[in-house]
Amino acid sequence: MSSRYRLSPAAVVDMEAIVDYLRERNPLAAVRFIESAQATFEHVAFMPLAYPKLRTDTAALADSRWRPLTGAFRRYLVFYRVAGEGLVDVVRLLHSARDLDRVLDEE
């Protein structure tokens, strides 16, 4: 069984914004962030049920789960859904200092 993931349009925008921000300040950190994000995406795709469900009243996010990125970027959180058939949908990638309730309620 292969493990796969796909990024939502919002997750792509999140990823690009974070990488742009880091690249302006430290290009090597931006590269490490991308590597950390990809490793985390692959890990949740391999073990999607290993992480907690998101506590939310938002119906669209009811089946979502979350986990922090690996390594030095643990303050960034991956929000994802198990889509079945070995597929994980990465919904958002957000820094934990953000107003997560507000941002996620926009989904």
CA distance 64 to 58: 10
Mean pLDDT, the chain, rounded, equals 88
Q: Map out the domains of the chain with their CATH numbers.
A: 4-105 (3.30.2310.20)
Q: Using a pLDDT cut of 90, give the percent of the chain over it.
A: 67
DSSP state of 52: P
Phi, psi torsion values for 33, nearest 5 degrees: -60, -45
Q: What digits encode the pLDDT tens for the residues 56-77?
A: 777 667 788 999 999 899 999 9
pLDDT higher than 60, residue 93: yes
Contact between 68 and 76 under an 8 Å Cβ cutoff? The reply is yes
β-bridge partners, 99 = none
Average of per-residue pLDDT across 91-105:
78
The confidence band for 13, taking pLDDT boundaries of 50, 70 and 90, is very high
Q: Using a pLDDT cut of 70, give the percent of the chain over it.
A: 87
Contact between 65 and 81 under an 8 Å Cβ cutoff? The reply is yes
Identity of the residue numbered 59: A
pLDDT higher than 50, residue 85: yes
**What's the alpha-carbon Rg for the chain, to the nearest Å?**
13
